[in-house]
A and B are shown apart, each in its own frame.
Chain A
Amino acid sequence: MKENSLWKDAFRRLVTDKFALGSLLIVLTYAIVALLAASGLIAADWAKEVGGSNLPPSTEHWFGTDIFGRDVLAKLIRGTQIAMSVGLVTSLIAIPIGVILGALAGYFGGWVDDVITWLYTTFSSIPNIMLLISITMILGKGIFAVYIALGATSWVTLCRLIRGEVMKHKEREYVQAAEAIGGGHFRKLFIHILPNVTHIVIINTSLQFQFAIKSEVILSYLGLGVQGEPSWGTMIDDAKLELSRGVWWQLAGATLAMFVVVLAFNLLGDALRDSLDPKLKGK
C-alpha cells in the first residue's frame, strides 16, 4: 500500500466516477472557450453581419443567425465568456470574505462570533433577489454591478458553513494537541483547522458557480446585466419575441449552452461532495 492523503483518495474516487470526470472535462472546455474569447482569439467579430437575417441552423452557421444576420454561435461564445467570468469573479469575492469571516467567527467565538453572525444574518435577511436587484439598479446596469451584487450575496452561505465546521474542528483533540505542543492561534487555525475545512470551499464553489451563471442570465434578461454585448440572458430576451415567428435557434442555443455547463457544475458539485466529505465515507 502506498501512502494516500485524503486529497489523493478523493481525487482517485473522483476520476473513477465517469459522470464526475465528464463534468470536469465540460467545465474545463467552457473555461478554455471563455479564455480564448476573452483574449480575442475566437468570436472577436461576433458583431459582424455574416449572412441573412434569422437564417436557420446550417453547416455554415451551426446555430443559425440572428435578426441582424450575426452568427448565433459567435454570440454564444461571447456569452460563455460573460457567464464564466461572472462565476469566477463572484467566487473570488465570496471565498476570501466567507472563509476569513467564517473561520474567525467559528474559531474565536464570543463577541467576534456575535458580530460576524449578526453581519451574515443581516445580509441573509434581505431576500437574495431583492438585494441583487437593488445593487445592480443602484450601481448602474452593467457587468460590474452584477459582479458586486452576486459577490455580496454569495459569501453568506460559505461563511455560515465554514463557521459551523470550524467550531466542530476546534473541539477535536488534534487541535488541542497542537496547543499542547506549543502551537498558537495562528497555527491552530491556519495550519490545522483550515486544511480540514477546505473541502467545503471546493464543493460550495462548484455549486456557487452554477448559481452565479443562472443569476447572470436572469439579471441580463431583466436588462440589468451586461450592456452592448451578447449574454445568454439577453439572447433569451431577444428570442422571446422571435419564438412566435418560428425562430427558435437563438433560444435553443442559449438554453443548451447554459444547460450543459450548469448540469456539469451540478454533477461535479455532487461528485465532489461524495468524494471529499469524509462524513459520507464508508456509506
Chain B
Amino acid sequence: MIKYVIRRLLYLIPVLLGVSFIIFVLFNLVSGDPTAVLLGKNATARQMAELREQLGLNKPLLEQYFDVVRSAFTFNFGTSWATKQDISQMIVQGAYPSLCLTLPAFVFATILSLVISLVAAFYRGKGIDLFVRIMCIAGVSVSALAYILFFQYFFAYKLGWFEISGFEYGFPDFVPYVALPAIIFVLLSLGPDVRFFRTVILDEIYQDYVRTARAKGLTEIVVLLKHVLRNALIPIITYVVIQIPSLILGALLLENFFSIPGLGGITLNALNSSDFPVIKAMAILSSVLYILLSLLTDVLYTFADPRVKLK
C-alpha cells in the first residue's frame, strides 16, 4: 500500500514538470512582451526595460521555467499586475465565497444524481427511465448561459425570492446570495451526472455475477444497491473526484452573473484586464490540485476494488 502510494507520488514529478512546461510555454514564450500592455502606448523604451527587469523577463529561459515549477510547490505566485495585490492572498480570499457556493451544491448534486440514476436503473426500460433519459439529454442540450439568465431573471429579478447579486461573508449571511446560483449549479450538474452514472450502473447490471445474485433469491433492490452499486462505484469515484478542481475554480459563469467575488470572478477579472500572473497562478493551482486528487482517486480505488494490486 505504502509502496503503491510512493510510486504514484513519484509519478507526479514528471507530470508536474510537464504541466509547468505547458504553462511556461504559454505564458513565457508565446505570450509576447506584456510591458506594452501594462504601460500603455506612451511608454518609453527605458520604462519598458525597467519593467521587464522587474517582472523577471530578462532572466534566462531555464530560470524562468524553474520559477514556474517552484511556484507549483511554494504557491508563491507574485503580485497581480492589475491590483498589485499578492496573488496567493487574493486566492485565499476568493476561495471562501467560491466554496460557499460550490461545495454544498456539488455534494448535493452528486447525491441527487446517484439517487436518480439508481431509480432509473431499477426501472430500466420503463416509463420513469425513459423520462429521466429524455430530461437528461434535453437538459444537457440547453446552454448553461440560458439557464443562468432565465433563473436569475425570473426568480431573483421578477419574483424577488433571492438576491440578484453580491455576497456577504459569514454563515448564514451568505445563504441568500448563494442559494440561487447553487440551485442552478445542481440543475446544471444533474444532466451529465445522471447520464454517466446510469450508463455505468447499466453496464454492470448485465454482468454474470448479477445473475448469480438474483439466483440466490435476493430482491432486485438489494441486487442493485449492494452488488451493482459497489462495482459501479469504481468509475463513479474517478468521475466525481476529478471534478473537484473545477469547484475550487468556482462556477466561473455563476460567479460572474451573480457578482460573487470568488475565484471564478477573480479569474474573469484577470482575463478582462490581461492580468497574466493571476491566470497563470490559477492554471498552476488548479493543475496541482487535479494531480493530487487523481492520486487520491487511485488510493480510493484500492478500497473500492480489491483487484487493484497494491504493488
Contact = CB atoms under 8 A, between A and B. Distances in A.
A128 B291 CA distance: 14
Given A125-B19, A133-B271, A138-B30, A236 B145 contact: yes
Contact of A221 (B15, B19, B145, B291): B145
B18 A118 contact: yes
B160 to A, nearest CB: 13
Contacts of B31: 138
Nearest to A119: B18
A134 B137 contact: no
With a 10 A CB-CB cut-off, give which of A126, A223, A267 has the most chain B CB atoms: A126
Interface range, A side: 35 or more
B283 A131 contact: yes
Contacts of B23: 126, 134
A125 B287 contact: yes
Name A's interface SS: helix
A118 B145 contact: no
A130 interface: yes
B143 A138 contact: no
Contacts of B283: 126, 130-131, 134
Majority-rule SS of B interface residues: helix
Interface stretch (B57-65, B73-81, B103-111, B245-253): B245-253
Interface in B235-267: 245-246, 249, 252-253, 267
Interface in B130-150: 137-138, 140-146, 149
A112 interface: no
Contacts of A262: 140-141, 143
Nearest to B158: A244
Contacts of A283: 206
A119 B272 CA distance: 30
A131 B22 CA distance: 10
Contact of B137 (A118, A224, A255, A263): A263
Interface residues of B, number: 44
B101 interface: no
B286 A266 contact: no
B112 interface: no
B24 to A, nearest CB: 12
B249 to A, nearest CB: 7
B174 interface: no
B252 A126 contact: no
Contacts of B146: 236, 251, 255, 259
9 contacts: A124-B290, A127-B290, A130-B282, A134-B283, A137-B274, A214-B143, A251-B146, A251-B149, A255-B146
Given A127-B287, A131-B283, A138-B26, 10 more contacts: A125-B287, A125-B290, A127-B246, A137-B274, A218-B143, A222-B271, A244-B157, A254-B143, A255-B145, A262-B143
Interface of A: 118-119, 121-131, 133-135, 137-139, 210, 214, 217-218, 221-224, 232-233, 236, 239-240, 243-244, 251, 254-255, 258-259, 262-263, 266-267, 270, 283
